[in-house]
Amino acid sequence: MTKIFLAPRSNEKAYEHFESTILKGRPYSFFESYLSESEKKVLSKYDTLQIWDNKESLRNRWEDMRPGDYVLFMKKDFSDSALV
């Protein structure tokens, strides 16, 4: 079953991060040193990755995320939200 996850993008600094990591993406090489060997096996086939991190305290919200789920990036007034 497809799930929808909400990701906060509530201020201008978060928006800059959203643009550079989700809309534009970053090269695989940017993330490679942070990845485990199993993550490298899965992700190394991609030139560009769109990756969003979150606070460790919110980890339980994301543990159920699976391929095919949606993430809705939003700010408080919903006027500039994006579905990725």
Is 90 exceeded by the pLDDT of residue 48?
A: yes
DSSP-derived pairing of the beta strands 4-8 and 82-83: unpaired
**Which three-class secondary structure state does DSSP give residue 82?**
strand
Q: What is the per-residue DSSP string for 4-44?
A: EEEEE--SHHHHHHHIIIIIS-EEHHHHGGGS-HHHHHHHT
Domain ranges of the chain: 4-83
**The whole model's pTM is what?**
0.63
- Residue 44 dihedral angles phi and psi, to the nearest 5°: -65, -15
C-alpha dihedral sign at 60, 65, 71, 72: negative
21-32 pLDDT, tens digit per residue, is 889 999 999 999
Which is more confident, 75 or 84? 75
* pLDDT cut 90: percent of the chain above it: 37
